[in-house]
Amino acid sequence: MDFRDLIVYKKAFDLAMEIFELTKKFPKEETYSLTDQIRRSSRSVCANVGEAYRKRQYQPYFLNRISDADMENTETQVWLDFSESCKYIDSTVKKLLVAQSEEIGKLLNHMLRFPEKYLKTNEK
């Protein structure tokens, strides 16, 4: 199994790609602020899950990276709030994206609550 096979990774990757496509339409003046921030935080969820998976033989490191992924996922929701308030996305789009993010958050929290299900020591 590879980190790319994890449901949480797949869902986070899909959300990051949706955000990427959506932010292509954001105004140029947001390029180095909102656009970069929301792309970075959404992609960072995937990166942290990948890093956690590779270091899953070390529970503290694994938990730290999954916690970081959860933090970045929450940051993405904050940027979605700004995107809606700035009228770059409508409320329907925001609700759909936040729902996806909340689902990712639930998966990450399961990993935090039950790390033994993901640690390398459990592999056969």
- Which residues fall within 8 angstroms of residue 62, CB to CB, at 6 or more apart? 52, 55, 56, 115, 118, 119
Q: In this predicted structure, what is the pLDDT of residue 22?
A: 97
End-to-end, the C-alpha distance of the chain in Å comes to 11
* Long-range Cβ pairs for the range 67-72 (8 Å, 24+): 67/112, 68/44, 69/12, 69/44, 69/45, 69/108, 70/105, 70/108, 70/109, 70/112, 72/41, 72/42, 72/44, 72/45, 72/48
> What CATH number is associated with residue 88?
1.20.1440.60
pLDDT band for position 1 (cuts 50, 70, 90): confident
Count of the separate structural domains present in the chain: 1
Domain region containing 31: 3-122
| Cα Rg of the chain, angstroms | 15
pLDDT over 50 at 101, yes or no = yes
Helices H, strands E: what count in the chain? 4, 0
Q: In this predicted structure, what is the pLDDT of residue 115?
A: 96
pLDDT digits (tens, 9 = 90+) for 46-73: 999 999 999 999 999 999 999 999 999 9
Q: Does an H or E element contain 101, and which?
A: helix 91-113
Rounded to whole angstroms, how far apart are CA atoms 59 and 26? 40
